[in-house]
């Protein structure tokens, strides 16, 4: 074969692309798993490279590697992160369940670069993988990549979304709209009260996500093959977590029980469950926006979302709520990702979970999708929508449900008769109530004042 070189591993020889930084084990994975043609996420590979650098630093401190070997490994890792590192990581998501192929991919690439820097061989297994097993480094990388994703992407995006909603709440506070339950007319609410509800949902989600961070930042590293720590220095786990914390500025700690962290992925399942809860919240907000924007003539037409693009290839002038629609699709995908992670989390057979790569892929996908859609929803839908006040007032003035405020005075049965008459005749409830009660118009205007009704009483 042209443009290839011969590489060897414990199973023999095979051809590897001549310019590839990886070696035989990576090539076997490329040959064995032509399944999805999707690589492991860039966030995962970044975390794996950082973990290799942290391991090398810890091993130098513990005299498991020479200073020159450790420095070459660290410099190789840093050089990768400064460039287009993903070109060197071709292994499919659907691979060996332990993620060994991805681990060896990193070991081989870093070993090649470190050998060039050092001017002597750096071994993928003996040096780059020193004190490690795929069985602890891959679970560790899942936790690290997800923690970094939350700190760097999702939590800031959710905080931004809350801030935009809270600014919009002040802007729309003067507007009162018809409330709806079961999609049917109900008692009035302030537009600001609707948005305050969204903000509180998101704040609760942020709090729940933050509660999971200590578990996510607790690492399996040091457990090696089955949790016993075979071939790792007794102080390796502590040194690794300290070095990784320095590299990432996120506080990581050794796990209290390494058997649990290698044999299960309960933390990833819990984090995914919270991501699903965020998706449910975003779906609710997106759908509220879509309904309020519906029309503009035959729908509710309470707000007008920013027009971002033509909405139809055949109907001129049509503009659709594209950002809420995209957000709703993200929510559906995240819910599906959670189902996959739930099933994969059940594959902790004895001392190792064997669906680690797909857990990593889905968890990081959910984090990225939620972060990106949250910012778009904030900046291109919520911040910029306009309130259609005439439409709000028109619907409020004809809303027979306002008669609910008269229940304590005239009774439920009498109020129901007034509401039905108002519906049937298409008249304002105040006019019908004036004919069917002894209350004066001035009294009814006070009792049926939508602004007072939004405060929860009369």
- Alpha-carbon distance 240 to 246, whole Å? 10
Give the up-direction half-sphere exposure of residue 360: CA atoms within 13 A in the CB hemisphere: 34
Which of the 8 DSSP states describes residue 356? Answer: H
CB–CB of 190/405 below 8 Å?
Answer: no
- DSSP letters along 78-120, please? HHHHTS-GGGG---BSSS-TT-HHHHHHHHHHHHHHHHHHHTS
- Active-site residue, selected from the candidate residues 182, 215, 241, 384: 182
- Active-site residue, selected from the candidate residues 36, 312, 397, 440: 312
User: Binding site membership for substrate: which residues?
Assistant: 98-100, 123-126, 133-135, 181, 313, 318-320
- Alpha-carbon distance 40 to 361, whole Å? 6
CB–CB of 406/188 below 8 Å?
Answer: no
Q: Which two tokens stand for residue 187?
A: 């008692």
Torsion of CA 140, 142, 144, 149, to 10 degrees: 180
CB–CB of 85/39 below 8 Å?
Answer: no
User: Binding site membership: which residues?
Assistant: 98-100, 123-126, 133-135, 181, 313, 318-320
* Residue 275, helix vs strand vs coil: helix
Residue 42: in which H helix or E strand, if any?
helix 42-61
312 is catalytic: yes
CB–CB of 58/128 below 8 Å?
Answer: no
- DSSP letters along 375-409, please? HHHIIIIITT-EE-HHHHHHHHHT-GGGGGGGHHH
Which of the 8 DSSP states describes residue 40? Answer: P
Nearest to 47 by CA among 126, 153, 123: 153
182 is catalytic: yes
CA distances from 248 to 46, 241, 255, 410 (A): 11, 10, 18, 67
Task: Show which residues are catalytic.
Answer: 182, 312
């Amino acid at each position: 074969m042209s443009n290839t070189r011969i590489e060897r591993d414990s199973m023999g020889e095979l051809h590897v692309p001549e310019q590839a930084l990886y070696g035989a084990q990576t090539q076997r994975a490329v040959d064995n798993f032509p399944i999805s043609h999707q690589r492991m996420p860039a966030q995962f590979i970044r975390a794996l490279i950082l973990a290799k650098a942290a391991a090398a630093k810890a091993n130098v401190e513990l005299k498991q590697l020479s200073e020159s070997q450790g420095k070459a490994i660290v410099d190789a890792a840093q050089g990768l992160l400064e460039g287009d590192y993903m070109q060197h990581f071709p292994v499919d998501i659907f691979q060996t369940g332990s993620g060994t192929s991805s681990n060896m991919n990193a070991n081989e690439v870093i070993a090649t670069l470190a050998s060039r820097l050092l001017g002597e061989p750096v071994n993928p297994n003996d040096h780059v993988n020193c004190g490690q097993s795929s069985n602890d480094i891959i679970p560790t990388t899942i936790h690290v990549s997800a923690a970094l994703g939350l700190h760097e992407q999702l939590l800031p995006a959710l905080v931004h979304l809350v801030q935009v909603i809270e600014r919009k709440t002040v802007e729309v506070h003067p507007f009162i709209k018809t409330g709806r339950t079961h999609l049917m007319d109900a008692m009035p609410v302030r537009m600001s009260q609707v948005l305050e509800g969204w903000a509180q949902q998101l704040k609760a989600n942020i709090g729940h996500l933050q509660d999971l961070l200590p578990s996510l930042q607790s690492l399996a590293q040091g457990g090696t093959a089955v949790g016993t720590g075979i071939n790792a220095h007794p102080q390796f786990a502590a040194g690794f977590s300290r070095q990784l914390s320095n590299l990432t500025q996120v506080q990581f700690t050794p796990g209290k029980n390494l058997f649990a962290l290698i044999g299960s992925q309960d933390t990833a399942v819990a984090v995914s469950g919270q991501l699903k809860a965020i998706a449910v919240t975003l779906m609710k907000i997106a759908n509220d926006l879509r309904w309020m924007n519906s029309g503009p003539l035959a729908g509710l037409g309470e707000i007008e979302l920013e027009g971002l693009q033509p909405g139809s290839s055949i109907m001129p002038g049509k503009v659709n709520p594209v950002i809420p629609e995209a957000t709703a699709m993200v929510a559906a995908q995240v819910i599906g990702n959670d189902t996959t992670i739930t099933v994969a989390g059940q594959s902790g057979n004895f001392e190792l979970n064997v669906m680690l790569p797909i857990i990593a892929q889905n968890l990081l996908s959910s984090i990225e999708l939620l972060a990106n859609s949250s910012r778009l929803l904030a900046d291109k839908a919520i911040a910029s929508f306009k309130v259609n006040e005439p439409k709000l007032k028109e619907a409020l003035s004809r809303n027979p449900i306002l008669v609910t405020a008269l229940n304590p005075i005239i009774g439920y049965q009498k109020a129901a008769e007034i509401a039905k008459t108002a519906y049937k005749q298409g008249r304002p409830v105040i006019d019908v109530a004036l004919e069917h009660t002894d209350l004066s118009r001035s009294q009814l205007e006070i009792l049926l004042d939508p602004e007072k009704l939004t405060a929860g009483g009369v």
